[in-house]
Amino acid sequence: MNQTDILRKIRCFLMDMDGTIYLGNRRLPGAREWISLLEDHHISYYFLTNNSSRSRVEYAQKLNQMGLSIPEERIFTSGEATAIYLSKHYSGASLYVVGTPALMNEFIRHGFSLTKSEPDVAVLGFDTTLTYEKLHKLCDLVVEGKPYIATHPDINCPTEDGFKPDIGAMIELVAASTGRRPDVIVGKPHQPIVDALAEKTGLPLEAHCMIGDRLYTDIALGRWGIITVLVLSGETKIADMAGSEYKPDLTVQDIAEMAELYQKIVRQ
């Protein structure tokens, strides 16, 4: 199947943000044109990010500051997906959360109580306010056998100046200390976020296309039948593909090239 045939059947595009739409506070070339293209042709889209350090409101504000007017309803984070997962499987539970105030507020918004004393569930998010005390408490709870949930598996977060350690690095630290890994990881490419996404869009998985810069999260969504497009503007370089078990359906340099490619299809 050629590029045209693959993309013509897509009814909803999913976009990663860090490394795909922007780096740090810099909007990447083609991002505005890509969103305008989708909106002009009434094509559904969502921003699907594993970064749980911000709320969808904060992401909408950040995108707006970059000249992209995106309704917050179009943004779906691993933090929100984790709250949805916990609501289904641990309704009424108290949580110990290693995360930013934004992530904590996400859980409060979904009706959870947060505590440092005898929580029912321990949650690890991407915490840019991380302290040794937080890690120490998390490890204690993990050793005790508390249910242990992680919002996503990303090892690094791309920035304009390189990469900063993400939750995947913290998962390894906790595993080295406790001998235990999360019972459930919610974010891309794991099933909880896929299930939540399918509920949100109401479309079959094969009608979605994920555009992102990470092989092991964005492109790995292909195992669920989602079409995948790799952009080379973030974490992954072309040489990384040779040793990866996850292969994209399409590869483009950046979102600008994706916009050019899709423009040809909608004109047909």
pLDDT in tens, 89-143: 999 999 999 999 999 999 999 999 999 999 999 999 999 999 999 999 999 999 9
CA Rg, the chain, in Å?
A: 18
Burial per residue of 206-239, b for 16 or more beta-carbon CB atoms within 10 angstroms, e otherwise: ebbbbbbbbbbbbbbbbebebbbbbbbbbbbeee
- 3-class secondary structure for 186-229? CCCCCHHHHHHHHHHHCCCHHHEEEEECCCCCCHHHHHHCCEEE
Up-side HSE of residue 208: CA atoms within 13 Å toward CB? 27
What does the domain layout of the chain look like in residue ranges?
3-50+188-267, 79-185
| Average pLDDT of the segment spanning 225-243 | 93
Identical fold, 3-50+188-267 and 79-185: yes
pLDDT in tens, 77-90: 999 999 999 999 99
What is the pLDDT, as a whole number, of residue 3? 76
Q: What's the CA gap between 141 and 133, in Å, rounded?
A: 13
| Average pLDDT of the segment spanning 231-249 | 93
The structural architecture, per CATH, of the domain 3-50+188-267 is 3-Layer(aba) Sandwich (3.40)
What is the pLDDT, as a whole number, of residue 194? 95
Which superfamily does CATH assign the domain made up of 79-185 to? HAD superfamily/HAD-like (3.40.50.1000)
What is the pLDDT, as a whole number, of residue 2? 75
pLDDT in tens, 37-85: 999 999 999 999 999 999 999 999 999 999 999 999 999 999 999 999 9
